[in-house]
Amino acid sequence: MELRYGINPQQQPADATPVRPGRWPVRVVRGSPSYINMLDALNGWQLVYEASRVLNRPAAASFKHVSPAGAAVAGAVDDVTAELHGVQQHDVGPLTSAYLRARDADPKSSYGDFAAVSHPVDAELAASLARVVCDGVIAPGYAPGTVGTLAKKKNGRFLVMEADPAFVPPERETREVFGLRLAQQRDEVPLAATLLENVVCGALPTTAAEDLLLGLVVLRHTQSNSVCYLRDGMTLGIGAGQQSRVDCTRLAGAKADTWWLRRHPAVRALAFRPDIRRQDRINWQIRSVEGDLTPDESTRLSRALSQPREALTGSSRAEWTARLKGVAFVSDGALPFRDNVDHAQRHGVRYIAEPGGSIRSAEVEDACREHRITLVRTGLRLFHH
C-alpha cells in the first residue's frame, strides 16, 4: 500500500506491506493514509478491541501521535459532555457514548485526532464524528450510509479504515532502526481480573477494578513512560512518553484536574458569543481553568464572551478539586519513589495498580497506607515504544 508520505512530508516514498503476503489487518475504505495515520489506526484498533473484550462493552479511543489522548468504554455521558457536543444526555447510544467520553478526557489534545472504536460505526456516531475536528476513524465495519456521511469531512480527505477482528498478528514483531532489524516476541499476556488479585493494602470494589483493567489496556498501547487516571470507565488524564515517571504523574494529574474543573459552575457559566466555535470555547475553558492567562489572552477571552466572567479563585479551585474522589491510577512500570503516590492522591486517587518490584516498593506501600489508597501489584510491566 502506498502511503501519502512518511512520518514527515519530506520522507517519500512511503508504503505499508503485510508481513504475511496478502493478509491485511486493515483496509482503507476511503482516503489516503500517511505513515502516522497508519500507526494511530493500528495502535488505536488494538486498544479498543482489547478493552472491549476485557470489559465486555463498546470501547473507543482518541489517538494523537501514537498515544491516546483519551479512552473509554460505553457509559453515562454527563451534562457537560452532552452540552459540548450538542446531544441529549440520556439518548446517546453505547458506541457514541464511548467516543464522546474518550474525547472529553483531553479535548484540547483531541483536536484533529484519529478515532478508534470497537464496534461498527452507526449513523449516530457518524453524525457525531462529522461535527468534530477529526482526521480519520478505524472500526470493524460501517452501517449503510455512514461512509457517505464521513466522506464529506475535510473536503473528501477524511480517512476511513476498516479493521479485521479475525486477524491474528504474527508471534514475532520486527522493526528496522538505523540499519538494524530488531525482533521480539509479541506481548500476548492476557489483561484480566487475575492481575488484580495481589491487593497489598486496602479494598478493591468491582467498579475500581474495572477502571484499573481499562488503565492496563490503555497503557499497553501508550508510549512509555506512561500513567493514567481513570474513573467510571473513562480516562481523566494520560501522561505519555516522559523520561521521568513522576513527570508523567504530574502531567496526567493536571489533565485530570482540568477535566474536573471544566465542570465548575464558574467555567460552565462562561457565556461565549454565538460565533465562537466549539474548539475555541474548549480552549478558552481550559485556559481559564489553568489560571495563568497572559494580559493579551485576558483581553481576547473578554472579547469572546457576551458578558463578564466570574473569576475562578485559588480557594474555589482548591475546594472544587477536593471533591474529586474515587479515581483509579495505573502505571505501566514500577513506581520508583513514593512521590508518585503523594502527587496522585492530590487528584482524588484511591486505587493504584503498578507492577511492583522497585527497590523502594516498601516506601510506595507505606505512602499508600498513609493516604488510605488501595495498592494492587500486577507483576506485569507494560512498556510500549
Catalytic residues: 64-65, 225, 385
Strand partners, 239: 227
Q: d(Cα 367, Cα 350) in Å, to the nearest integer?
A: 12
Q: How far apart are CA 330 and CA 66, in angstroms?
A: 19
Type of residue numbered 130: A
214 vs 7, 22, 50, 231, 353, CA distance in Å?
29, 33, 9, 10, 11
Kindly tell me the burial class for residue 317, based on how many C-beta atoms sit within 10 Å of its own C-beta (0-12, 13-18, 19 or more). middle
Cell of 151: 466522506
Here the cell at position 229 is 487516571
